Structure 1
Amino acid sequence: MIKAVIIEDESLVARELQSKISAVAGDVEVQALLPSLKTARRWFMQNAEPDLLFMDIQLGDGVSFELLEHFHLSCPIIFTTAYDEYAIRAFKVNGIDYLLKPIDEGELEKAISKCRALSEKSKPAPPDLQELLQMLAGSGSREPLYKEKFIVHIRHQWVPVNTDDIACFFKDAIHYLYTYKGNRYVLDFTTLEDIEELLDPRKFFRANRQSIVNIDAIETVTLHENQKLTLRLKKPLTLEIDISREKAPGFKRWFDR
């Protein structure tokens, strides 16, 4: 089975592509639909690269080529793009193909077959990222911006808390953040997913449904017989955070770097 990932910021387009992939290539399993550059960066930080990658070029929060700079992916890539053929002729390098939107099933099948053949022979070479970035992103890529501070409410006042001072975020009945000093503050966010989107995935890890942890806040990691993990945070915090067996490999890759 070939494991694939789709990076596409239009949900209807992403689901339609997934359906077409299932129709023309029964041996391709789509593992994830990633709607933004930030989401994709977080996913690749916590998971092994797929066998095949479908990438829209221009996402709502940046250019998808930036992922290739940060993660040095070696899997075959198929760009799904609205750019015309003249603008993307440079994509025709080893390991890269492209499909013009709306995507034709016949062209999709040919592109997957090409990538399947490349994978069977050897790992494809990485693209000339600088050429691609200069062509479609002007002066090149920029580091995405993440939230620098969170506003909390204390006795009818707004008080800023620097993100670097936050040890973890925790969901109980409501959402809290904990600082390294052990202070707990209430947040106005609706979900942890909303918070996660604002954080640098190199520093913050979504440990489970209830918590997001800062890498610098972890004191010890305990491995249990069932392959689950328990994180103990640095004092004065007394929090322990559990990580499931399924998420443990992704956490190890994120933590051990």
Structure 2
Amino acid sequence: MAIFKTILIDDERLARAELRKLLTDFEDIEIIGEAANAVEGVEMVEDLHPDLIFLDIQMPGKTGFDLLTELTYAPKVIFTTAYDEYALKAFEVNALDYLLKPIDPNRLQESIAKLRKTAIAKVEGDVGKLLTEENQVFVKDGDKCWFVKLSDIRLFESAGNYTKVFFANNKPLILKSLNALEERLNEKFFFRASRKHIINLNWIEHVEPFFNGGLLIDLKGGEKIEVSRRQAVKFKEMMSL
């Protein structure tokens, strides 16, 4: 039986206590931490890498949506809130489920059933906690939000302290530098083509020689990415060209 490491994030202590009590009925749910606000939540999630978080939306300071934008990766998320007006937005970001407080035990059981169905085997002990292609990242651009699998992201483009994320027809900006992202990406799948770009190797359509010993890579999304001379040498070694 798979065990789902779980963190509860809610500013109401009694709400966390009640949820913790309800979750004792599920042998495959292991609560590894609790956080009372978004700041604590981000630190705990990044440190412990849970499989699942129960996340309140309305909290003092930063909201649950704000918390998700600060995570390097996104675990499975079940929103818990007293405000049903957020339901539509929660499902737009592809949350696993959305529970209204006070939480109904039957609805909680349905949520855990969904979790079990969508569970993907988690690779433990990755050096430096590198992200796999199956990991999701949370991307927010204005009122639009997405959970995006890394395998669906074809390109990261530096924009100062921000990074533009290319997936499907979307190109939102996230508040993370390209260097910070590179540290978490597995080089088996992602390649630093230049100071400005990281490309998904599985999205390469065509490679050709380019100016001054570099390369020009065509991605399946239509982007043309220049690879610097130094990185072209590394790329050829990786791809055995």
State the TM-score, normalized to the length of structure 1. Answer: 0.46
Structure 2 length as normaliser, TM-score? 0.48
